[in-house]
Structures are given as C-alpha cells and as structure tokens.
Amino acid sequence: MKKLVPAVLLAAAAAPAFAHPGHDTTTLAAGLTHPLGLDHLLAMVAVGLWSAAAFSGTRRLAGPALFMAALLA
C-alpha cells in the first residue's frame, strides 16, 4: 500500500506526452485508427523480434501479447 499511493498520485499528475504531433485527435475514428500507423507496426515487429530472442518456449508470445493488449487499452 505504501508504494501504491505514490504511484497513483504520479499517474494522476502526468500530462499527455504528445509523442505523435500532427495526428488528428478530434474524432473517435482517428483515435481508433491511430495504432494502425507505420510507427506502431514497426514497434510490434521490434517487440516480436525481441521476444523471440529473449525468451524461450511459450514465453515468446508474452511480449507481443502484452503489447497488443496495451494497444487495445
């Protein structure tokens, strides 16, 4: 509990990163199609390659699966 309170406070105080300037952020459709861009595709490929090299067996799917879950969230 001692670690949870500061983490929640820091998360609540965080400002948007605006990591992708120039993207349309005004409509729901723009938000839903944003993860389909080239930068996200390259990140997914990198995560897949890293997971294949870093893990063995069924754990290889953990990295890409968590990345996809984060994109969906």
- Which string of DSSP letters, residue by residue, matches the chain? -TTHHHHHHHHHHPPP---STT---SSHHHHHHGGGSHHHHHHHHHHHHHHHHH--GGGGGHHHHHHHHHHH-
pLDDT tens track, the chain, 73 positions:
788 999 898 888 877 766 666 667 678 888 788 778 888 888 888 888 888 888 888 778 887 788 778 767 7
- Is pTM beyond 0.75? Reply is no
